[in-house]
Amino acid sequence: MFMSLKLLKLRWKIFFWTFTGRIKKLHSRLQLTLNQGNPDNVLIIFPADEPSFRVAFYTFRDLGKKTGREINFIFLVKEQFKDLFHLRIGETIYTKDSDLHSILSDERSLLLALERERFDIIVDLNPTFHLGCARLVSLLTSNMKVGFASDFSDRFYNIQLDISKSGIMEKGFKQINWILAQ
């Protein structure tokens, strides 16, 4: 019963934010073409929990080395992982810690820093639904928003990776890495 109350509260929060415009509606219609496989501006949101962060960082350690072209990467990383994160490409923005079911505490400053960008792809690497990151994704402009499938992912991501059958998040990370390396 306790879990269903938390789920109900989360559903109401998402409904209210959508109704009031605090979450933008996702235009779900998407046609993939060959030229969309060459993104120029990419935002990658790294996972908020440490085990998932470590797997994601390991999977993306060689990002950008194989493409042979210039891609503008921006990484959102939880401040707690600052010492663990050392990719030598792109720009890194560190975020403050937040609960899985609330908005990011530094959302306003993140929006100010990112709103001038038009992203070709936004990738949320959180394997479990993180409301703050999903809301941030909904407020940013991009035709391709990639995230992991969950009860709420249809509202936020137009490309969803489902790892529920295999349970191996590294496979999902590798699929995203493959998309970005094209």
Question: Between 77 and 17, whose confidence is greater?
Answer: 77
What percent of the chain has pLDDT above 70? 81
Cβ contact 106:125 at 8 Å: no
In 3D space, the residue among 154, 146, 101 whose CA is nearest the CA of residue 125 turns out to be 146
Q: For residue 64, how many C-alpha atoms fall within 13 Å in the half-sphere facing its CB?
A: 16
Q: How far apart are CA 92 and CA 108, in angstroms?
A: 17
pLDDT (average), residues 80-100: 85
Q: Supply the pLDDT for residue 125.
A: 93
Q: How far apart are CA 105 and CA 132, in angstroms?
A: 9
Encode pLDDT of 48-69 as tens digits. Answer: 999 999 999 998 888 867 656 6
Cβ contact 121:146 at 8 Å: yes
**Torsion sign, CA atoms 176, 62, 35, 47:** positive
- The DSSP element (H or E) to which 160 belongs, if any, is strand 159-161
pLDDT (average), residues 123-150: 90
Q: Classify burial at 133, counting beta carbons within 10 Å of its beta carbon; exposed 0-12, middle 13-18, buried 19 or more.
A: buried
28 pLDDT above the threshold of 80: no
Q: Supply the pLDDT for residue 2.
A: 54
